[in-house]
């Protein structure tokens, strides 16, 4: 799929977010085998931590681009994984959207004042870490300057929506889950990196919104 006019695309996307979301059914198309539904997982979780992430869209050389990040190695279940910028909601955050914007600014250096929120995807729970994630979609009118936090970010991955949503880049991959368990799971290959788990599930729902938008 090719997107030509960025403003028209964003306006149409805003309309789609006013409709019912594809929801967990769309997310689970890219879920690891055996992943429990959100309500069940939250019910049995020892601790639930609120968090938020942001999918940023921006125009670049006639394409619509987004950015993901490769996390640094650390003693945690999401070490070295590919994700959208985001993190834990803090007491000073006035909303989940505010948390997503703050975390985005802290991790990749784009000022929150430059970003406009378009809509919110379906909330998603990550059992290994206990994070209940609110995924947001936002945009800037032009390509922003990225200044990643080297303490948290190993590298940034810049990709077009065309590439990210291309079925040719979807495949089963072997990954290390929860830091120790080898599993085979649906994944998206992006710039030589494997995107899986919660991030792939968010992308799956976002793709259905875009597909519905193209069919209007």
Confidence of residue 1 (pLDDT cuts 50, 70, 90): very low
Long-range contacts of 143-148 (CB under 8 A, 24+ apart): 143/58, 143/59, 143/60, 143/65, 144/56, 144/58, 144/110, 144/114, 145/109, 145/110, 146/67, 146/108, 146/109, 146/110, 147/108, 147/109, 148/69, 148/107, 148/108, 148/109
* Dihedral sign (CA 113, 106, 195, 89): negative
Q: Are 203 and 163 in contact (CB under 8 A)?
A: no
**Straight-line distance from the first to the last Cα atom of the chain, in angstroms, rounded to the nearest whole number:** 14
Is the pLDDT at 76 greater than 60? The verdict is no
Domain ranges of the chain: 6-161+197-214
Is the pLDDT at 36 greater than 70? The verdict is yes
Q: 193: closest CA among 156, 161, 166, 165?
A: 156
Q: What is the mean pLDDT of residues 169-177?
A: 91
Q: What is 6-161+197-214's CATH superfamily?
A: Nucleoside Triphosphate Pyrophosphohydrolase (3.90.79.10)
What pLDDT, in 10s, does the model give residues 91-116?
999 999 999 999 999 999 999 999 99
Q: How many angstroms separate the Cα of 178 from the Cα of each of 13, 76, 79, 128, 199?
A: 34, 8, 9, 6, 15
This prediction has a pTM of: 0.93
């Amino acid at each position: 799929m090719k997107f030509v006019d960025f403003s028209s695309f964003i306006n149409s996307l805003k309309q789609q977010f006013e409709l019912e979301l594809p929801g967990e059914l769309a997310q689970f198309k890219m879920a690891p085998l055996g992943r429990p539904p959100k309500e069940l997982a939250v019910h049995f979780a020892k601790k639930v931590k609120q968090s938020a992430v942001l999918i940023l869209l921006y125009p670049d050389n006639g394409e619509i681009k987004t950015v993901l990040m490769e996390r640094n190695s650390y003693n945690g279940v999401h070490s070295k994984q590919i994700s959208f910028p985001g993190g834990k909601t803090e007491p000073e955050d006035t909303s989940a959207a505010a948390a997503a914007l703050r975390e985005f600014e802290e991790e990749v250096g784009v000022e929150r004042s430059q970003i406009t929120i378009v809509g919110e995807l379906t909330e998603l729970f990550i059992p290994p870490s206990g994070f209940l994630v609110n995924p947001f979609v936002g945009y800037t009118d032009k390509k922003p300057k990225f200044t990643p936090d080297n303490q948290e970010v190993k590298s940034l991955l810049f990709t077009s929506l065309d590439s990210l949503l291309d079925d040719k880049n979807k495949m089963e991959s072997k990954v290390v889950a929860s830091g120790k368990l080898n599993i085979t799971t649906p994944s998206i290959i992006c710039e030589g990196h494997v995107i899986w788990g919660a991030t792939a599930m968010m992308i799956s729902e976002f793709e259905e919104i875009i597909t519905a938008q193209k069919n209007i």
